[in-house]
Amino acid sequence: MKLGVIIAGIFALGLFAPTAFAAPSAQIVMEKTTFSYGEKLFYTIEVSEVTGDLAIIHIRDESGKGSSAIPIEISQLRTEVPSLYPFEKEVFPEGKFFIDLQYSGAEYTAEFNLIDSGNVVIPFQTKQIAYSWVNNQVSSGILIDSIQKMVEEDAINIPYEIDRDHMEEIYIPEWMKITTIWWLEEKISDGTYANAFQNLIDRQIITI
Asked whether residue 177 carries a pLDDT value surpassing 90, the answer given is yes
Asked whether residue 11 carries a pLDDT value surpassing 70, the answer given is no
Asked whether residue 80 carries a pLDDT value surpassing 70, the answer given is yes
Sign of CA dihedral 208, 162, 90, 130: negative
Would the pTM count as exceeding 0.85?
no
Are the C-beta atoms of 116 and 93 separated by less than 8 Å?
Answer: no
For residue 137, the model assigns a pLDDT of 95
**Mean pLDDT of the region 127-133:** 95
For residue 163, the model assigns a pLDDT of 73
Residue 12 half-sphere exposure, CB side, CA atoms within 13 Å? 6
Asked whether residue 17 carries a pLDDT value surpassing 80, the answer given is no
For residue 12, the model assigns a pLDDT of 45
Q: Mind listing the domains of the chain with CATH numbers?
A: 26-115 (2.60.40.1930), 124-202 (no CATH)
Exposed / middle / buried, residue 16 (Cβ in 10 Å: 0-12, 13-18, 19+): exposed
